[in-house]
Structure 1
Amino acid sequence: MFGIGFSELLFVLVAVLMLFGSKEIPQMARFLGKTMAQLKNATNEIKNEIHNSAKHTGVDVNSFTGGISEEIRRAKEDISSAINPLKDMSSEIVDDINKPIQEVKEDIENLSGPIKRQF
């Protein structure tokens, strides 16, 4: 979680509890929650304002973001395939490995079936 381990998070929580006390923490949490909500509303208003002004001028904002996101997706796929070239073949490899294992399981089941019935 954000590069913070459990022990670091626990240490921060204990430090906050010691600094501010248990009575102040709910008020701080409310303040942080309200601040985050205001920030979210402000960013949504800015986004809406940009989209509205783009509509009035006739600019298609989605074409800009769609092209960028498509390029990012392709770059991620290229990097992933360069780092792990077996990723695309992994399902074929798994099928090739599982087929003999399944055959051996069936053979063992066929051999042990009469033995199990005797007990």
Structure 2
Amino acid sequence: MILLFISTPELMIVGLVVILVFGSDKLPEIARGIGKAMKTVRNATDDIKNEIAKSADEHGFNKDVKEITKKIEEVKDQIEDSGSIKRKF
């Protein structure tokens, strides 16, 4: 398992150091705190994403993106319809 460029043996060493420093009785408390912090960060990022999406909808950016995407697809189709281009020497 590679997590943020940290291998499994390195994670095991970090876990051992945490156990030695904080003690095994504090680990559930620490894990609970980390879990709450991760949930808070996840909720904050979701709120930011929703605000950005809402703002984009209000200003019509999504419509512009859809139009541009449609035009790009049309150009792709035209290129594919033209067939392969081969040089003749």
TM-score normalised over the length of structure 1: 0.49
Quote how far apart the aligned CAs of 1:63 are.
Answer: 2.8
1:44 to 1:62, Cα distance in 2 relative to 1, 3 A: farther
Structure 1 residues 16 and 50: CA distance shift in structure 2, 3 A: same
Count, aligned residues: 65
User: 1:28, CA displacement in angstroms?
Assistant: 0.6
Amino acid at match of 2:31: A
Q: CA deviation at 1:17?
A: 0.2
Distance 1:8 1:52, change over 3 A: same
How far apart are 1:56 and its partner, in Å?
A: 1.1
Q: Which residue of 1 aligns with 2:56?
A: 54
* Aligned equivalents of 2:29, 2:64: Cα separation in 1: 41
- Per the alignment, do residues 48 and 16 of structure 1 end up closer, same or farther by CA in structure 2, a change over 3 Å counting? same
Alignment RMSD: 2.2
The unaligned stretches of length 5 or more in structure 1 are 68-119
Structure 1 residues 3 and 63: alpha-carbon distance in aligned structure 2, compared to 1, 3 A threshold: same
Match of 1:26, as an amino acid?
A: P
Structure with greater proportional helix content: 1
Percent identity of the aligned residues?
38
Aligned counterpart, 1:29: 31
